[in-house]
Amino acid sequence: MSAGPAEADWAAALAAVRGIPADARILLVCHVNPDGDALGSMLGFGLGLRRLGLRRVRATFPGPPEVPETLRGLPGEELLVPATDADPDPNLVVCFDAASESRLGELVDRLVTADIALVLDHHASNTRFGAVNLVDPRAAATSVIVDELLTRLGVPLDAEIAECLYVALSTDTGSFRFEATTPAVHRLAARLIATGIRPGEISRRIYDTRPFGAVRLFGEVLGRARLEPAAAAGRGMVWTYATLDDLVRHGQRPCVLEALIDSVRCTAEADVSCVAKQTSRDEWAVSLRSKGAVDVSRVAVALGGGGHRFAAGFTGRGAVEQMVDGVRAELDAALLDSEPGRP
Ligand code: 5GP
Ligand code: MN
């Protein structure tokens, strides 16, 4: 796996932030359908910039300006503006947790209209689309890079910044369960918790709270899950889908489905899990996970998406069965490529 930012990259990032006047217009952007890492990293950094005396900091993301229920109430939320109100030509644009320009949706033009574009990310597939790129594929979350940049900028860690970075770190490590949970991750978590934030309260809010309608919806959607032991060259795949109609019947918003994959991927008999969430008549947001046998980012990239080795996604089109056919085929291709000796 490639190394993190070089000293020259850190120096360039520091220069970009330190050289900016207090009234400069700064726009922070994270990826479409923001998750805990995207929002937490962005708002934590935004609060840090405010502590440096930068007054005109705004944060946004493409698409509808709706923050998922579980991520509401984060410190720094007041920095958020809808994408339609985002500064058209900011002095500085900073992008968070986006592996490529396409993840910035309609805000992609800011990469050219801004005086300078800074990219903070931890995806191995990051295309280095900024003028300055702080990309570290070894980092468990983008918030690890934010923490380092804030430290280098001399911003003292406080409870508000810490809460944002903790939410980001916790969500991207699957609540400190994934392989990326290194000693360094726990050392960062310790520093964040030492500011006085309440990890129990935060975890309950982001993982263990959902409307009763969503509990019933999950029941129905999990009830139709299918196990295919032969898929992925015998490693097994489990998959299910949720339609817009399912959401309507249970009175739920799409963001409640973000947690669905976690209830599917626990299946003992399958290495790979797949959840398709309908987003329009024939379009699906597809999530893929692997327990380690398959690099699902290769599958996602082959199908027009991206992500990490063991957590990836793409936008699928057409009927759900057809789309899953595509996933099966790419799983086999990914396994054949990685193990040419296998039949
Ligand atoms: P999730 O399944 O939680 O939505 O996404 C898992 C990971 O896959 C994300 O961290 C992100 O990196 C990636 N991902 C999900 N959907 C897409 C997509 O449509 N395009 C790209 N490029 N990456 C995606
Ligand atoms: Mn992330």
User: Nearest ligand, CA of residue 103?
Assistant: 1
pLDDT higher than threshold 60 for residue 343: no
Query: Strand 132-135 vs strand 306-307: parallel, antiparallel, or unpaired?
Result: unpaired
Neighbours of 98 (CB within 10 A): 30
Whether residue 287 has its Cβ less than 6 Å from ligand 1: yes
Distance CA(123)–CA(169), nearest Å, equals: 14
40 Cα to the center of ligand 2, angstroms: 10
pLDDT higher than threshold 90 for residue 342: no
Contact 300, 312 (CB under 8 A): yes
249 Cα to the center of ligand 1, angstroms: 27
Domain spanning 7-207, CATH architecture: Alpha-Beta Complex (3.90)
pLDDT higher than threshold 70 for residue 9: yes
Name the one residue in this structure whose structure tokens are 């400190």. Answer: 176
**What is the structure's pLDDT at 339?**
64
Whether residue 307 has its Cβ less than 6 Å from ligand 1: yes
CA torsion angle 121 127 132 136 (round to 10): 40
Instruction: Convert the pLDDT of each residue in 64-102 to its tens digit.
Output: 999 998 999 999 999 999 999 999 999 999 999 999 999
Instruction: Convert the pLDDT of each residue in 185-197 to its tens digit.
Output: 999 999 999 999 9
218 Cα to the center of ligand 2, angstroms: 25
Q: Which residues contact 322 (CB under 8 A, 6 or more apart)?
A: none
Which of 177, 159, 203, 198 is CA-nearest to residue 51?
159
Whether residue 311 has its Cβ less than 6 Å from ligand 1: yes
The atom number, within ligand 1, closest to the CA of 37 reads 10
DSSP designation for 77? G
Nearest CA to ligand 1 atom 8: 312
Q: 212-338 sits in which CATH class? A: alpha beta
304 Cα to the center of ligand 1, angstroms: 11
Per the rule left: phi > 0, alpha: psi between -120 and 50, beta: everything else, 132 is beta
User: Nearest ligand, CA of residue 100?
Assistant: 1
Residue 186's Cα: distance from chain center in Å? Answer: 20
Mutate to test the pocket of ligand 1, among 258, 287, 298 (most ligand atoms within 8 A of CB): 287
Task: Tell me the pTM.
Answer: 0.93
Q: Above pLDDT 70, what percent of the chain?
A: 98
Whether residue 99 has its Cβ less than 6 Å from ligand 1: yes
Average pLDDT, integer, range 136-140: 97
What Rg value do the Cα atoms of the chain yield, rounded? 20
Nearest CA to ligand 1 atom 14: 313
Quote the mean pLDDT of the chain.
96
Terminal alpha carbon distance of the chain: 28
Whether residue 157 has its Cβ less than 6 Å from ligand 1: no
For 99, phi then psi, to 5°, come to -75, -25
Reported as a pLDDT band with limits 50, 70 and 90, residue 172 is very high
User: Nearest ligand, CA of residue 286?
Assistant: 1
pLDDT higher than threshold 90 for residue 340: no
**What is the structure's pLDDT at 336?**
83
25 Cα to the center of ligand 2, angstroms: 25
Reported as a pLDDT band with limits 50, 70 and 90, residue 146 is very high
Whether residue 305 has its Cβ less than 6 Å from ligand 1: yes
- Domain regions of the chain by residue span: 7-207, 212-338
Instruction: Convert the pLDDT of each residue in 254-272 to its tens digit.
Output: 989 999 999 999 999 999 9
Whether residue 312 has its Cβ less than 6 Å from ligand 1: yes
pLDDT higher than threshold 90 for residue 338: no
DSSP designation for 102? G
Distance CA(139)–CA(198), nearest Å, equals: 24
Q: Could you tell me where the beta strands, DSSP code E, fall in the chain? A: 25-30, 56-60, 92-96, 116-121, 132-135, 226-228, 237-242, 272-280, 283-290, 306-307, 311-317
Contact 97, 142 (CB under 8 A): yes
Nearest CA to ligand 1 atom 6: 312
* Residue type, position 97, single letter: D
Mean pLDDT comparison of 2-6, 207-211, 267-271, highest-scoring range: 267-271
HEC sequence for 51-76 = HCCCCEEEEECCCCCCCCHHHCCCCC
HEC sequence for 251-274 = CCCHHHHHHHHHHHCCCCCCCEEE
pLDDT higher than threshold 60 for residue 236: yes
340 Cα to the center of ligand 2, angstroms: 31
Distance CA(249)–CA(105), nearest Å, equals: 30
Reported as a pLDDT band with limits 50, 70 and 90, residue 3 is confident
Joined together, the tokens standing for residue 54 give 């930068």
The three-point CA angle 227-228-234 to 5° equals 130
Q: Which residues contact 79 (CB under 8 A, 6 or more apart)?
A: 28, 43, 46, 47, 50, 57, 58, 59
Concatenate the DSSP letters of all residues of 152-195 into one string. Answer: HTTPPP-HHHHHHHHHHHHHHTTTTTSTT--HHHHHHHHHHHTT
